[in-house]
Structure 1
Amino acid sequence: MKLHTLIVVFFLSVLSSTIVQADEDPKHLIQSCQELVGIYSKRDEKHLVAGLTTSLSEALRAGYCRGVVEEYRRHYSRCAGDWLTQAHAIANQQLSLDKPTSVQNVLRVSCGI
């Protein structure tokens, strides 16, 4: 199964719970986007091997990130770039213990809003 197809399948399976989970744990979103960016980096380096070396849990986390990002972009079209650009921006965010944040804020920052 191709990596893109696998991500879409898992995106659809977690879509119903995406909005509920998205408001709860910004760390999970950041880690999921780091997973997604990692998978796409592997894909660019080793086209055929990336799909074979991606575990089910990695694909689920990557699908969660993509689903949250695409859903956010559907409602807030002011985001620049594409969903992968936004996933990179989320993956590079750092959470601070002294500054609590939310998933909404992580998404807003990743869009440059």
Structure 2
Amino acid sequence: MKPTFLTFACLLTCLSIPAAQASDDPQYLIQSCQELVDAYTEADQLRTIAKVASSFSEALRAGYCMGRVDEYRRSYECATDDWFEQAARIAEMPESFSTRTTVDELLEHSCAG
């Protein structure tokens, strides 16, 4: 995959937000994963429109999701080997679910399969 603006923004986000400063808002994680899924048609292939149309804030939100999922996967074994599948599971959760759960519970639920 060629480096793109979205890739660099995701990397920048992953590197610039320490875990202690990461958002603990489950709704923000769901929205961020929705941005990530919207930008990708599959785990390694960006849609052409996403390359051009992604704003910096959309790219940062997508990077936040990618970073949280990646960091979670470093510490826990998941039912799926595909980080994108896990992010898509989070994105599919209704935002109303976020009022009844935590970020850690969202990550655990999405990891279980």
Task: Tell me if TM exceeds 0.5.
Answer: yes
Alignment pair present for 1:75 and 2:75:
yes
1:7-46 → structure 2 map (5 Å cutoff): 7-14=10-17, 16=18, 18-22=19-23, 24-41=24-41, 44-46=46-48
CA distance 1:20–1:45, shift in 2 (3 Å): closer
Partner of 1:92: 92
The number of residues matched between the two structures is: 107
CA-based RMSD:
2.3
**Identity value in percent:** 42
Asked whether the 8 Å contact 1:26–1:102 carries over to 2, the reply is yes
Amino acid corresponding to residue 65 of structure 2 in structure 1: C
- How far did residue 4 of structure 1 move? 1.9
Asked whether the 8 Å contact 1:73–1:79 carries over to 2, the reply is no
- How far did residue 100 of structure 1 move? 1.4
Amino acid corresponding to residue 51 of structure 1 in structure 2: K
Amino acid corresponding to residue 105 of structure 1 in structure 2: E
Partner of 1:52: 52
**What's the TM-score, normalizing by structure 2?**
0.80
Asked whether the 8 Å contact 2:25–2:102 carries over to 1, the reply is yes
The structure that is strand-richer by fraction is 2
* Structure 1 unaligned blocks of 5 or more: none
